[in-house]
Amino acid sequence: MAIWDDVIPKEDLEMFAKSKFGGEREYGKKPAIVVVDMTYGFVDDAYPLGCSKMGWPAVHAIKTLLDKGRDKGIPVFFTRGEHSRTPTERHRWKHHAWAEPSALDPKEHQIVEEIKPKSDEVVITKIFPSAFFGTNLASMLIFHNVDTVLVTGMVTSGCVRASVVDAFSYNLIVVIPEECVGDRGIVSHKVSLFDMHMKYADVAPLTKIVSYLDGIR
Amino acid sequence: MAIWDDVIPKEDLEMFAKSKFGGEREYGKKPAIVVVDMTYGFVDDAYPLGCSKMGWPAVHAIKTLLDKGRDKGIPVFFTRGEHSRTPTERHRWKHHAWAEPSALDPKEHQIVEEIKPKSDEVVITKIFPSAFFGTNLASMLIFHNVDTVLVTGMVTSGCVRASVVDAFSYNLIVVIPEECVGDRGIVSHKVSLFDMHMKYADVAPLTKIVSYLDGIR
Amino acid sequence: MAIWDDVIPKEDLEMFAKSKFGGEREYGKKPAIVVVDMTYGFVDDAYPLGCSKMGWPAVHAIKTLLDKGRDKGIPVFFTRGEHSRTPTERHRWKHHAWAEPSALDPKEHQIVEEIKPKSDEVVITKIFPSAFFGTNLASMLIFHNVDTVLVTGMVTSGCVRASVVDAFSYNLIVVIPEECVGDRGIVSHKVSLFDMHMKYADVAPLTKIVSYLDGIR
Amino acid sequence: MAIWDDVIPKEDLEMFAKSKFGGEREYGKKPAIVVVDMTYGFVDDAYPLGCSKMGWPAVHAIKTLLDKGRDKGIPVFFTRGEHSRTPTERHRWKHHAWAEPSALDPKEHQIVEEIKPKSDEVVITKIFPSAFFGTNLASMLIFHNVDTVLVTGMVTSGCVRASVVDAFSYNLIVVIPEECVGDRGIVSHKVSLFDMHMKYADVAPLTKIVSYLDGIR
């Protein structure tokens, strides 16, 4: 049973089978963990962009992954947004929540306490969906000779998906621990997981990925 | 009525409304048309990656858009794939159709005759999902001072969506003529249109976009 | 008389003439000013990376350019470095001054008071030579429909040159006001100006560029 | 004795020493060879962009490097230009040789026979100076887990230097075999080697690099 089974109809599955999409692959030898936008503004539904139902469970799943990854000395990268002072920095995002008073709350772009970065872990400030676009993430992954990225965070159909597509385009092996991502829309969440698993990444249960990390080095 | 109404549940719509996503925006003054991967391999279901149901109708809709755009002197950019000779060039795509005999058919990566590029239109060869990744598309759009891209082609949830996210990240106004895109999965198609319309782009009927082009210059 | 006349021999000039390099071009209609790394660490020779001889005169020339540009409402972008907390962020720079005590002085990466950014001007934090690499500068220039960048700052043969090559590669018209750039090496400075003027950019006197800005809008 | 000793004055060397630039570094475990633009158009001075004095000797030095690298199974990447059919593809290069009849000679963009790519080696078509800009080179290097690039080809102060700066910015260790690069200007050549050795790369004799390759795997 896959999480998308109740939303993807049989005829769609047949088209993907015809193209021989999907399946499982072997992961690499040098993984890194990327934690996308796990800030109060996304995790907590007190904020306009918040998506509470999947946010806190994802925090706890990411904590499990981070505990194992840090134990194994695997590099960890966080991303977060920042307040835009000017229209130039606000860009062309379609949502209209910028003008809200909450957009000035410093906690909005703070990574939640439960999984806060350690002092030697990199926090990337980004504005656009992908953790790679306009950032040094690709360079930092090359610095560590990373071949596999475990992409976690929020939201599945937004910044997570954009980061997965770019990681794939940089020829990294991309793995998505299913419990470690969340979205404000349940259908967007499930269909993005399906789309990514078909073409760009392996969606897998957290237990499988923790076992994989156990075998590293 | 939006095309995604039958797949996005009410509670998801409410979450997006809370974040004030979606809506319509004004288009810019300098549009360009981007036609993604409208090759026989994607359009025609004789090919392993083909997705016939939406392919040919998209061809005809794109032809209408191109007729108007060329009449107005708007720059047009096509993308297409190419056969990979080596594993290095094959990258990490998950589908397994590379090894098929059809993967050597030169017609697979040929843009369909009905909308073939004119001699002064640029055809970009690409390997990865986005029309921008590893290509000069951004530079060529800047050369023409483009502020708005009309993104068409296949598949909606794959190369079209990746190109839309990158165009958005380059701060271009992104418009998707709904009839001019297609996918092998109907749910992936509808949900990607929903996701993109909520955050990155305006999904609009072809007639509206043809009217917009009529008013250019 | 060009500034490089005393370092480029006649036979080199002949080779460039054979390839028909160099000359002057028309500038565009939508300029932006980019000020690269005019921080105390580079401008002031109390710092290990400082290059005092050309630093302060460049500050004054840039001030003249900014006064005119701001008067005309032209967008202005600054870059500056930042202290690296970890080896991951320190990257592969060859110089060994990272370990110096001065590398912890907060003033090192502060833009000099005389030309400090206004509250509505964007300051880009960067690590690598080019103002474009791993930053959103290209996106922000597209946001403003910029077609011409006036590149200033330090050092000519380092971050200025890398930024010029990237601006050129994004198909922007690149102009370098000669008095507004400086370097720690006089030969590196002159030869980089020559190389850039031959192929990628127009090196021109500040007075010419101020006249050009006068004619904008 | 360094090749730049006769062009860089003592006071410039002192400024670089003050900043602790330069020196030698250890190379990595996974090298790749990049051969930039070794086409007849650049190597042979019958062509407008040709720079004959350094072209053919560089061909022979690159052949020595390729023989060793291929023997060791090291990935090799070539770049070459291509004829531009339209102004859009011609971009903003400053030289005026585009309109020459020679610009239609197919041999101009053909890699010279003596070092022609093997059937399993990748040839990247590029338009801009850097072998990375608008290409998939970074992705292909990641595919092979490369940590060190040996950059060769022409011209030192143009496409070689732009490629070196980008390779450095991707956090690769960059090595330039001195005999394997050439330029149409002798001063541009020497000063670019100096600038790159100070900050971004190790300029080293071919014999040292061949020894290094001998020790790989």
Residue B214: in which H helix or E strand, if any? helix B206-214
Inform me whether the pLDDT recorded for D162 exceeds 90: yes
**Confidence band, pLDDT 50/70/90 cuts, at residue A146:** very high
Mean pLDDT of A57-63: 98
Segment B177-192 shows an average pLDDT of 97
Per-residue confidence at A46, pLDDT binned at 50, 70, 90? confident
Nearest to B134 among D120, D136, D143 (CB): D136
ipTM exceeding the 0.90 mark? yes
Residue D56 parent element (H or E): helix D52-71
Give the rounded percent of residues in chain A with a pLDDT score beyond 90: 77
List the subunits that have 3+ CB pairs under 8 angstroms with B: A, C, D
Q: What is the pLDDT of residues C83-131, one digit of tens each?
A: 776 666 656 676 555 555 455 688 999 999 999 999 989 999 999 999 9
Mean pLDDT of chain A: 91
Flag whether residue A140 sits within 8 Å of chain D, measured between CB atoms.
yes
The H or E element containing residue D80 is strand D76-80
B87 interfaces chain A, CB cutoff of 8 Å: no
With CB atoms and an 8 Å threshold, state whether D122 touches B88. Answer: yes
Would residue A96 count as lying in a domain? Answer: yes
Separation between Cα atoms, residue A112 and residue A182, nearest integer Å: 15
Q: Is the pLDDT of residue A25 over 60?
A: yes
**Partner residue facing D187 (CB), from C12, C21, C171:** C12
If one counts the domains in chain C, the total is 1
Beta-carbon separation of D122 and B86 below 8 A: yes
What's the pLDDT score for residue C217? 82
Tell me whether residues A186 and B93 touch, CB distance under 8 A: no
Q: Does residue C10 lie in a domain region?
A: no
**Cα separation of C173 and C30, whole Å?**
10
pLDDT in tens, B96-107: 555 554 556 889
pLDDT at A23: 87
Residue of D nearest to B85 (CA): D120
pLDDT of residue C85: 65
Looking at the domain assignment, is residue C69 inside a domain? yes
Interchain pair B165, A129: CB under 8 A: yes
Question: Which residues in chain C have their CB less than 8 angstroms from residue B122's CB?
Answer: none
Q: Do B168 and A96 touch (CB under 8 A)?
A: no
Q: Does residue D102 carry a pLDDT above 60?
A: no
Q: What are phi and psi of D209, to 5 degrees?
A: -75, -35
Q: Which chain D residue shows the shortest CA-CA distance from B127? A: D136
Whether residue C46 has pLDDT greater than 70 = yes
User: Which residues of chain A are within 8 Å of residue C81 when distances are taken between CB atoms?
Assistant: none
Could you tell me the two tokens for B168?
A: 């958005």
CB of B31 within 8 A of CB of B150?
Answer: yes
Within-domain flag for D21: no
Q: What is the pLDDT of residue B95?
A: 58
Alpha carbon distance C18, C193 (integer Å):
19
- The answer to whether residues C150 and C209 touch, using CB atoms and an 8 Å cutoff, is yes
The reported pLDDT for the residue numbered A34 is 98
Residue D7 in domain: no
Quote the pLDDT of residue C166: 98
The per-residue pLDDT for D214 is 97
| Cβ within 8 Å, pair D139-B134 | yes
| In the predicted structure, residue A102 carries a pLDDT above the cut 60 | no
Q: How far apart are alpha carbons D153 and D150 in whole angstroms?
A: 10
- Of A91-100, B171-180, B203-212, C35-44, which range is least confident? A91-100
- pLDDT tens digits along D118-160: 998 999 999 999 999 999 999 999 999 999 999 999 999 999 9
Per-residue pLDDT, averaged over D53-69, amounts to 96
Mean pLDDT (chain D) is 91
Nearest residue of B to residue C145, measured between CA atoms: B145
Q: Give the pLDDT score at A141.
A: 97
8 Å CB contact between D144 and D30: yes
Residue D50 to residue D43: CA distance in whole angstroms: 5
pLDDT of residue B105: 82
Residue D147 contacts A, CB cutoff 8 Å:
yes
Residues 6+ apart with CB under 8 A from C206: C61, C64, C65, C177, C178, C179, C180
For chain D, percent of residues with pLDDT exceeding 90 = 76
Spatial separation of the C-alpha atoms in residues C149 and C153, rounded to whole Å: 13
Q: Is the CB of C143 less than 8 angstroms away from the CB of B169?
A: no
CATH number of the CATH domain containing B155: 3.40.50.850
Q: pLDDT digits over C134-171, tens only?
A: 999 999 999 999 999 999 999 999 999 999 999 999 99
Chain D: list its partners (3+ Cβ pairs within 8 Å). A, B, C
B130 touches chain A (CB under 8 A): yes
Question: pLDDT per residue over A3-12, tens digit each?
Answer: 999 999 999 9
Asked whether the predicted pLDDT for residue D55 surpasses 90, the reply is yes
Its domain, for residue D108, covers 29-88+98-214
Q: Which of D16-25, D96-105, D148-157 has the highest mean pLDDT?
A: D148-157
**Span of D94-103, D141-150, D202-211 with lowest mean pLDDT:** D94-103
Q: What is the pLDDT of residues D169-188, one digit of tens each?
A: 999 999 999 999 999 999 99
Q: Is C86 on the interface with B (CB under 8 A)?
A: no
Residue at token pair 């996503």: B21
Could you tell me if residue D17 is inside a domain? no
Give the predicted TM-score (pTM) of the model. Answer: 0.95
Looking at residue D60, its pLDDT comes to 98
Residue of D nearest to A166 (CA): D139
Q: Tens digits of per-residue pLDDT, B126-161?
A: 999 999 999 999 999 999 999 999 999 999 999 999
